[in-house]
Amino acid sequence: MSIQFGRWNFDERPVDADYFGRIESFLSTYQFDDTRCYTKNKIKILHRSFYTTEESRREVQPYISPSGIVLTWDGRLDNRPEVTRQIEETLTQGSTDIEIVAAIYEKSGTACFAKLIGDWAIAVWDPKNDSLILAKDHVGSRHLYYSFDRAQVTWSTILDPLVLLSGKTFELNREYVAGWLGSLPAPDLTPYVGIYSVPPSSFVTLQRGRRSIHKYWDFDPSKRILYRLDDEYEEHFRSVFKTAVSRRLRSDSIVLAELSGGMDSSSIVCVADSILAQGTTGATGLNTVSYFDDSEPNWDELPYIAKVEEARGHKGFHIDVGSDAKAFFDFTTETFAPLPGFENSTVTEVRKAFKQCLLSGGHRVVLSGFGGDEVMGGVPNPVPELADLLTRLKLIRFLRQLHAWALHTRKPALHLLGGIVEEFFPARWGGLRDHKAPQWLNAEFAARHRKALQGYEYPLKLFGPLPSIQENLRTFGNLTREMACSIQPAEAMYEKRYPYLDRNLLEFLYSIPKAQIARPGQRRSLMRRALRGIVPDELLNRKRKAFVARAPLVALSREANAISNLSKDMIAAHLELVNSELFSTAVASARAGHEIPIVFLIRTISLEYWLRSALKQGALYISALTFRPSVVSEGRKSIPKIRGSDDQGPRMKKVRV
C-alpha cells in the first residue's frame, strides 16, 4: 500500500516547509521503499512507494505526463492488456501501471476511470485547469481522504495526519456516529466535520471554492445472463473466479492467504494453487495463515484447515487468538485511532504474531475471503428470489419455491410471504422491518439520524430492476461501508486483496438468477457445484462454519467493573448520543446471559473508548461536553473551536454520470 499525500493552497502561497517536514516525519513510521516529491509554488505532492509487483519497482511517482498533468497512484491495474490496446502507439506490455493510467487519462479524461479494473486510488493535479481530481475503485478497497475549505485542500491515503497535523480540532460528525452505531457509516464520511472520504466508484473534482462528486460507474441493472443448463453457469463461474484470484496473485514475492477453514478462504487457496501450478502468474509461491482458539468450545475449524493443508502439501502459519482475550476491551492504550473500533487502535498479541508471519516470509500481499458470505449465498435469503417470481407473476413456480423454502427454513409459508411484502414498504410504516439500531440510543438522536442507523436502506420497488438486483445493490452498499471502516495498521505494512470483490466477478454474480447462487437446502449451490475436484469434498460438503460469539461475552463479564464505571460518566451520554441508564441495563442483561445485540453493544463501548482517546489527543472539539479530569487529561480542558468547512463552507454539488 503506497502512501499519497498532498496540499494545494488556493491563495497561491507556497506550502509551508515546516508543515511538510512534520508530515514526512509522521509517515516515516510506515514501511516504504522510495520517497519522491513534486513541488511547485502553491502545491506539494508526496508519494511513498510500497512495491508489490515487478512493474511497480520501475515506477517513478509523482508521475508527470507529457501535457504536464501530475498523477500519484496507489493500486493494481488488473486489465492492463485491454487498456493498453486502446493506446498502443505509446505503450507496451512492459509499461508500468502509472504509465498506462496516465496515458489513458490523457486520452479520455475522467471517462477513463470506468475502464480501470482493479484495486486503486488516484490523485490527478491539472495545472492548466487549476483542478485536483481524486478517485477510487468500484468498492473502495483503497482509502483516500481529503479536507477542504476556502484556503486549501489536503489529501492523503492515511487519515491520521489529516487529523493530528491539521493545526486545529474537529467537530464530531454525528451522522458518522449514527452509522457506526447502526449499519455502519456511509463510505464518504469520516468522524470529523471537514474531512471526507472519496466514495467508491466515484471521483471528486476540487477547484477554488468548489467541490463536486461524480459517480463514474455502477452496475447495469438490465444486464442478465441466462443459460439453459447448470453446467454453463458453473463453467462461467469457474472462469471469472479463477481470473479474480489470478489478478490478485500478481506479485514479485510470496503471497500470504488467510485460511479460516470455511469455504470462502479455502476456495481462494485451492484455486490459487491450481493457477500457480500452471506458472502463469508472477507470484513466487503461496503461504497460508490461520487463526484458532482452543478455549472456544465451538471452534472446530482446525480439522478443515488441516484438510486444505494436506491437499496442498504445506502447513501454514497458525495463530492462537485466545491470547488476545484480555485485550478485547482495552482501555489503557494511548495509541491514536482515527476511526472507532478496537481493531483499529489496540496493538494486540495477534497483530504482533501476524506481523511476524509477514516478516518471516517476506510477504507483502495478503488474500482475504471477505465478501464471500455476502455474494456467494453463505447466508441464504429466499426473499429476493421469491420476490422476483411474484413481481413477474410466475405464480406456479412462486408457490412451488415458497413451499420448498418454507420446509427448509422451518417457517410457515405465510410468514415468508409476509417477509416479502414487508420489503416493499418503508420501515417507518408500522415498524415492519427491523430498525437495525440499539435500543439504548438517545431517542432524539436516533430519530434525527434514522437513515444512517438503518444503513440508508430503501424499500424494494415493484417496478424497475428485479427485486433480487435491488437486494444485490443493498448488499454491495453494505460491503463498501464495511471496507471504509477498516484501516491499515501502521506497524505492519502489506497490501490486502479481495478476490470476491472483483468487479467482473460481481457483475457476473449480480446478473444470474438467484436460484443459481443458493437453493433450499443448498447454501452456496453454484460454488459447491463449480469447484468440485478443486476444493476438498470435506470443505464443500461441510455444514455452516461455526460462529464464535463467546469471546466478547467472556470479555464483557471479565471487564464488568470497568464497563460499569464507563457507563456512569459517558462522553457519548453527555453528547446525547446514548442513554447511559439504558446502556447500563443492557450491559447488566448481557452479563446475566440474556440475549442482546452484542455487536451493537461492542460498537457502543468502542465508540466511548474512541471518544476519550480522540479528546486526549486533541483531535476533537466537543462544545457540549463538560470536561472532567477522569475523562480528558489535564491541559485539554479548554480547546479553541475551529469549525470544519461544512460551516459556511464552499458550495458542493453531487453529479451522477
How confident is the chain (657 residues) per 10-residue block, as mean pLDDT?
Answer: 93 89 90 90 93 91 94 94 83 86 94 96 94 97 94 94 92 94 93 96 94 95 94 97 96 94 94 90 87 72 91 92 63 74 68 88 93 88 89 90 88 88 69 62 91 85 88 93 85 90 97 92 91 92 62 68 77 92 86 79 88 88 56 39 36 37
pTM (2 decimals)? 0.90
Grid cell 461492542 — which residue?
A: 602
Contact indicator for 178, 358 with CB cutoff of 8 Å: no
Question: How far from 377 is each of 248, 477, 511, 578, CA to CA, in Å?
Answer: 22, 16, 14, 35
180, 496, 572 from 453: Cα distances, Å: 8, 28, 16
pLDDT at 554: 67
Range(s) within the chain of domains with CATH label 3.40.50.620 = 230-376+486-540
Q: At what angle do helices 550-558 and 598-616 cross, to 10 degrees?
A: 50
**Residue bearing cell 468498492:** 139
User: What is the CATH T-level fold of the domain 230-376+486-540, as seen in this structure?
Assistant: Rossmann fold (3.40.50)
DSSP 589: H
Count of Cβ atoms closer than 10 Å to residue 523 Cβ: 19
Q: What is the largest CA-CA distance in the chain?
A: 73
Measured distance CA(8)–CA(15) in Å, rounded = 7
**What is the dotted CATH code of the domain comprising 3-218+648-656?**
3.60.20.10
**Cell of residue 303, nine digits:** 480439522
Q: Pairing relation of β-strands 43-49 and 3-9?
A: antiparallel
Distance CA 623, CA 172 (A): 10
pLDDT at 282: 72
Other Cβ atoms closer than 10 A to 364: 22
Beta-carbon count within 10 A of 21 CB: 10
Which pLDDT score, from 0 to 100, does residue 565 have?
Answer: 74
Q: What SS3 class is residue 422?
A: helix
Sign of the alpha-carbon torsion through 502, 508, 514, 515: negative
571/565 Cα distance (integer angstroms) = 12
Give the three cell numbers for residue 602: 461492542
Query: Taking a C-beta distance cutoff of 8 angstroms, is the pair 163, 171 a contact?
Result: no
Grid cell 453529479 — which residue?
655
Read off the pLDDT of residues 360-377 as tens digits, 9 standing for 90 and up. Answer: 989 999 999 999 999 998
Bridge partners of 133, per DSSP, are 124, 205
Q: How many CB atoms lie within 10 A of CB 151?
A: 10
Q: What is the C-alpha separation between 36 and 28, in angstroms, rounded? A: 13
Helix (H, G, I), strand (E, B) or coil at 617: coil
Q: List the Cα angle 594/596/292 in 5-degree steps.
A: 90
Task: Give the residue range(s) of CATH 3.60.20.10 domains in the chain.
Answer: 3-218+648-656
Question: How would you class 444 by CB atoms within 10 Å of its CB: exposed for 0-12, middle for 13-18, buried for 19 or more?
Answer: exposed
What amino acid is encoded at 385 in this protein? E
Say if CB 408 and CB 523 are below 8 A apart.
no
DSSP-based three-state secondary structure for 292: strand
From CA 29, how far away is CA 143, in angstroms rounded?
18
As a residue count, the chain comes to 657
Query: Identity (one letter) of the amino acid at 329?
Result: F
Question: 322 is written with which cell numbers?
Answer: 485466545
Separation between Cα atoms, residue 266 and residue 483, nearest integer Å: 21
Kindly provide the residue ranges of all beta strands, DSSP E only, lying in 307-402, ordered along the sequence: 317-320, 365-367
